[in-house]
Structure 1
C-alpha cells in the first residue's frame, strides 16, 4: 500500500470518526430534551428497545442463528448491568448538569481503564499513563469545583458514568476472548432491554407523537454511531482515530449553547482541556479496550 493511498484511507476513517462524535453528541442532546418531560427510566428503556430491535435484525440477517451461541452468558449479563449503570447515571446527571461538562467528565473513562487494567489483565501503567490519570482528575476537580457555591452532587453522576463505562470496556475485552463482536452486541442489547422492561412499568409514560418520533430517532442514532465506528476502524487504526472522539465534547458544547443556553465558564473550559490532554496521553500508549456502546 502506497503512502498516498494509506493517507487517503486515514482521512476517510477520520471523517467517519468525526461523524461518530457528532452522532453521539446528537444522541445526548435528544436525550436531555426528552428527560425534561419523560421519566429517565422510560427514555432509557425506549432507547434500548429500539436499538436492540435494530441491532438484532441486522445481526440475524447477516449472521443467522449462530449469534445466539455464547460460552459465558453471565459475563454478558454483567456487561449489560454496567452499560445500564453507565446510561442511567449519565441521563440522571443530565437533568442537572450541562451537557458539555457531563460529556467531558465521561471522557475520564480511559483514566479509569488505566487504573483498573492491572486487576483485570495484570497490565501495569507506566509513568506517562499515571501522569494522564493525574491530569484527568485535576481536570475533573476544576470542572466540578467542589469548593464553589455552584457545586452540586449531581456532578458526581457523570463521574460514575465514566467508571461504569470503563468497567464495561474491560468486561467487553474479556468477553471478546471467546465471543464475536456480533454475539457481544446481541446479548448486551437483549439483557439491557429485559432488565429495563422489568423496571419501566413503575415509570410508565404516555409520550406524544413528537416524543415517540424522538425516541425512535434516539435508538436509530445509537445504531448509526456503532456502524460508523466499525467502518472507521476499517480505514485507520485506533491510535489515529481515538483523539477524534473528543470532538464529541465540542459538539456537545455547541448543542448546550444552542438548545439549552448553557455557556461553559472559563474554569470548565480549562478542565475540559486537561481531560482532553489526559485522554490523548492514554490513547497514545495503549489500544482502547473496546469500542463504545
Structure 2
C-alpha cells in the first residue's frame, strides 16, 4: 500500500532521530573507541529484532526468509561499515562539516541507480550530480580548514550509505520491512561483535545512560527508514532527508560549539538544491511512465 504523506513524515522523523544519534555518537566517540560503541548499539538492536521476530506469526523462520539473502547480507555489512566511518568523521571534522560533505549521498544514489537498479538517468540529473560535486568542492575549500585526508572520510561514508539505500530499495521488491529490519540487526551485530569485544572499555554511569538512548534510537530510526521506503517512492520522500542537516547544525552549534563556516553553508545549499532537483526530475519521469502505462492499458475506441 502506498501512502506518500506518511512516508514523508516518517522520513522527517527519521532525520531527527538520526541527527540525535549522531550527536550522542560523537560525544561517546570522544571518550571511547568506535568499535565498542557501535557493537553495543547493534547488540541491543539485534536483541530487539529477534524478540519481535519470536513474537510475530511465523517466528524467526519467517522473519529471516528473504528473497534476496545475499543482498541483505551485503546491506548489513555496508551499513555497519558506513556507521563506523561516519562516527570517525564526527570526531575528526565535527558534525556540521561531516554532514555538509555527506549531503552528496542522494546524488550518489541518483548516479548509482543505473548500474545497481537499472534505472535510466537523464542528462538533467547528470548535470545536477555535477553541480552537487561542485558544491562539495566549495565545502572542501582549503581556506576553511576542512580540506584534509579526513575530508575523504565522510565522502566515503556518503558513498556507502548511497549503496545501502539503493540495496534497501532493491530488496523491498521481494522482502517486507520486517525481513529487512531483521537482517539489518542480525548481520550488523554479528559483523561488529569481534571488534567490539577486542576493544572493550569500562563506561561511566552517565555515558551508559546515553548509550542506552543510542541503542533505542538505533532500531527506531532504521525501522522508520525501511517503512518510509516501503510506503512511498524514494523520489517523493528523499528530499525530506535533508532536514537532518538542519537539526545537525543546531546540535553542532549549541551542544558542541562548532563553527558554521560560510563556504560550508554555500556548498551545502548547492548540494541540497542539486539533490532536490535530481529527485524532482526522477519523480517527473516516474509520473510520466505511469501516465504512459495507463494510456497503454486504456481500450482504444
TM-score band, normalised by the shorter chain? Answer: 0.7 to 0.9
Tell me the residue number matched to 1:38: 32
Pick aligned residue for 1:112 from 108, 111, 125: 108
User: Contact 1:31 / 1:218 at 8 angstroms: preserved in 2?
Assistant: yes
TM-score, normalising length: structure 2: 0.83
Q: Which runs of 5+ in 1 are unaligned?
A: 1-5, 288-293
Tell me the residue number matched to 1:29: 23
Tell me the residue number matched to 2:288: none
User: Contact 2:105 / 2:161 at 8 angstroms: preserved in 1?
Assistant: yes
Tell me the residue number matched to 1:48: 42
Deviations 1:101-144 (A, max 9, x none): 21232221121122222222332311221122112111111112
Question: How far, CA to CA, are the matches of 2:227 and 2:113 in structure 1?
Answer: 27
Tell me the residue number matched to 2:151: 155
Question: How far, CA to CA, are the matches of 2:273 and 2:281 in structure 1?
Answer: 13
In the TM superposition, residue 282 of structure 1 has moved relative to its aligned partner by 2.2
Asked if 1:87 corresponds to 2:94, the answer is: no
Asked if 1:189 corresponds to 2:189, the answer is: no
Q: Taking structure 1 as reference, are residues 63 and 109 closer, same or farther at Cα in structure 2, changes over 3 Å only?
A: farther
Question: How far, CA to CA, are the matches of 1:84 and 1:103 in structure 2?
Answer: 18
Deviations 1:76-124 (A, max 9, x none): 2211111112111101111111212212322211211222222223323
Q: Which has the larger radius of gyration?
A: 2
Aligned length: 279
Question: How far, CA to CA, are the matches of 2:223 and 2:134 in structure 1?
Answer: 34
1:1-293 to 2 correspondence within 5 Å?
A: 10=5, 14-65=8-59, 66-146=62-142, 150-229=146-225, 238-286=234-282
Q: Which runs of 5+ in 2 are unaligned?
A: 284-301
Question: What value does the CA root-mean-square deviation take over the aligned residues?
Answer: 2.5
User: Contact 2:103 / 2:268 at 8 angstroms: preserved in 1?
Assistant: no
Q: Taking structure 1 as reference, are residues 129 and 59 closer, same or farther at Cα in structure 2, changes over 3 Å only?
A: farther
